[in-house]
Amino acid sequence: MIRQERLSGAAAVKGTMLKARVSWISKNIAEGVNKIEPHLDADGFALLDRSFFPATEWVPFKHLIHIDRAIAAAAGGPTDRVYQDLGRHSASINLGDVYKLFTAPEPHKFFENMALLHNRFQNFGRSTYARVGRFSGKIELREYYEYSPVFCASALGYYEEALRIMNAAGPIVVTETLCQCAGDAMCQYELKWR
C-alpha cells in the first residue's frame, strides 16, 4: 500500500527533536552535516548549521521530515531502519537530558503524562493513551493536519526506546496498527512489554 504524507508547513515540533538528529549525525556519519547538505534545500540545511535553544524553539515539521530523509539518504541502508533509529536516539537523548523530569519509572504513567503534555512538543494533533493490560497499552494520535510515514517510523523507535529507558521487562514490542498515512482516521500504536 502506498502511504501518503501531508506537509503544508504550518505544523511545528520542539527543537529538541532536531537536536537529537544533529547528535545522531555526529555519531553515525563520518562527514557530519556536510554529507547531509546535498540532500537538503537551503532552509533545511540552515537549521542544521546554526545554534539554537532546543527546549524553547520550534522547528517546522516539514523540515524535520526533510532532514530525516536526508539523513537516511546519506546513511544508506533501509530507510525505515534509519528512521526508527532516529526515534530511538531522540528518546535516549531527550529523556535522559532535557525531559528527564518527565520520565516516570512506570510505563503506563509515562505514556499517560506524554499524552497530556503532547502540545508542549508539537503544535498540531492530539494524543491519548489507554492501558490495555498490566503490561500493554495503546497510543492514538489524532487530528494531525500534517503527517508523514517518516515520522510514524521514528515514533516506533521512540516508543521502544522509552520503554527500554524505563527498564520495562522484555520482550518490548511496538506496532503501528492504524496509520493516517494509509488513510486511517488516526495513527495507533500498540505497546507490549514482558
**In this predicted structure, what is the pLDDT of residue 133?**
97
Q: Which of 12, 13, 4, 5 is nearest to 158 (CA)?
A: 13
Find the Cα–Cα–Cα–Cα dihedral 169, 188, 112, 163, rounded to 10°: 20
Does residue 5 lie within any of the structural domains? no
pLDDT value, residue 97: 65
Name which of 28-37, 94-103, 146-155 the model is least confident about: 94-103
Give the pTM. Answer: 0.93
Say what the pLDDT of residue 142 is.
Answer: 97
pLDDT digits (tens, 9 = 90+) for 102-148: 666 789 999 999 999 899 899 999 999 999 999 999 999 999 999 99
Q: Is position 7 within any domain?
A: no
Which pLDDT does position 102 carry in this prediction? 64
pLDDT digits (tens, 9 = 90+) for 4-48: 999 998 999 999 999 999 999 999 998 888 899 999 999 888 888
The per-residue pLDDT for 104 is: 65
Handedness of CA 69, 187, 131, 171 (dihedral sign): negative
Task: Give the CATH number for residue 178.
Answer: 3.90.1520.10
pLDDT in tens, 51-91: 777 778 999 999 999 999 999 999 998 999 999 999 999 99
Residue 109 lies in a domain: yes
Residue 44 lies in a domain: yes
Whether 101 is covered by a domain: the verdict is yes
60-69 exposure pattern, b = at least 16 Cβ within 10 A, e = fewer = bbbbbbbbbb
In a domain, 182, yes or no: yes
Q: Could you read off the pLDDT of 175-192 as tens digits, one per residue?
A: 999 999 999 999 999 999
- Within the chain, residue ranges assigned H as helices are 15-28, 33-36, 42-48, 61-75, 79-95, 107-116, 149-165
**84 falls within a domain:** yes
Compute the average pLDDT of residues 155-184. 95
Give the residue from 42, 45, 56, 43 showing the smallest Cα distance to 22.
Answer: 45
Residue 4 lies in a domain: no
Q: Residue 98: pLDDT above 60?
A: no
As a whole number of angstroms, the distance between CA 152 and CA 61 comes to 13
The DSSP string of 57-101 is: -EEEHHHHHHHHHHHHHHH-S-HHHHHHHHHHHHHHHHHTTTTGG
Number of domains forming the structure of the chain: 1
Of residues 146 and 99, more confidence is placed in 146
The domain containing residue 75 runs over which residues?
Answer: 12-192
The half-sphere exposure of 37 on its side-chain side, counting CA atoms within 13 A, is: 7
